[in-house]
């Protein structure tokens, strides 16, 4: 092989390597930003639950085909079923939670959060139930995070 051909191959390999390194760095930044956005969304979801009630929060942040998994119940599937489930008055209690972990897919359109929740009566401010939760999130057509599955387990909370 001629020296010029070897030199050309080396230059191409180095530029390809730098290009893929740059793409990886850009992808990592994108994923970090999306994880921060998802974390903020979950925190805003909890804040809405505290301020305006659990019913409004769960209906505001769900996708049309969302699923809730609740104790001693069949899965609650879809917006209409969620509306029916959340039709009870929720002004005497508060549900709040705190995400402690967030992870999103490489495509940045699917993710999950998990953390701790507390359920308490407003009049007493005593926690009557606490535990852990997980929410699976997907982006909607407006590029906003909406939950597609939510579940919690009564138990140890922090």
Determine the structural domain holding residue 16 and report its residue range: 3-154
pLDDT for position 29: 92
pLDDT for position 40: 98
pLDDT for position 3: 60
The pairing of strands 145-154 and 62-69 is parallel
Token pair recorded at residue 100: 């402690």
Per residue in 66-75, pLDDT (tens digit) is 999 998 999 9
Per residue in 112-133, pLDDT (tens digit) is 999 999 988 877 767 788 999 9
Q: What is the CATH number of the domain that holds 94?
A: 3.10.450.50
Sheet hosting strand 62-69, strand order edge to edge: 76-77, 62-69, 145-154, 127-139, 110-121, 93-104
Per residue in 7-59, pLDDT (tens digit) is 555 454 555 555 444 557 888 898 999 999 999 999 999 999 999 999 999 99
pLDDT for position 20: 47
Question: Count of domains in the chain?
Answer: 1
């Amino acid at each position: 092989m001629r020296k010029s051909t070897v030199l050309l191959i080396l230059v191409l390999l180095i530029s390809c390597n730098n290009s893929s390194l740059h793409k990886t760095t850009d992808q990592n930044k994108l994923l970090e930003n999306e994880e921060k956005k998802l974390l903020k969304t979950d925190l805003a979801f909890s804040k809405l639950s505290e301020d305006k009630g659990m019913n409004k929060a769960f209906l505001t942040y769900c996708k049309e085909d969302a699923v809730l998994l609740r104790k001693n119940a069949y899965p609650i599937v879809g917006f209409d079923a969620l509306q029916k489930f959340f039709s009870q008055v929720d002004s005497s209690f508060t549900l709040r939670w705190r995400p402690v972990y967030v992870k999103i897919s490489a495509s940045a359109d699917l993710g999950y959060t998990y953390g701790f929740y507390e359920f308490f009566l407003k009049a007493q401010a005593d926690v009557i139930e606490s535990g852990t939760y997980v929410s699976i999130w997907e982006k909607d057509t407006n590029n906003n995070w909406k939950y597609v599955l939510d579940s919690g387990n009564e138990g140890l909370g922090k």
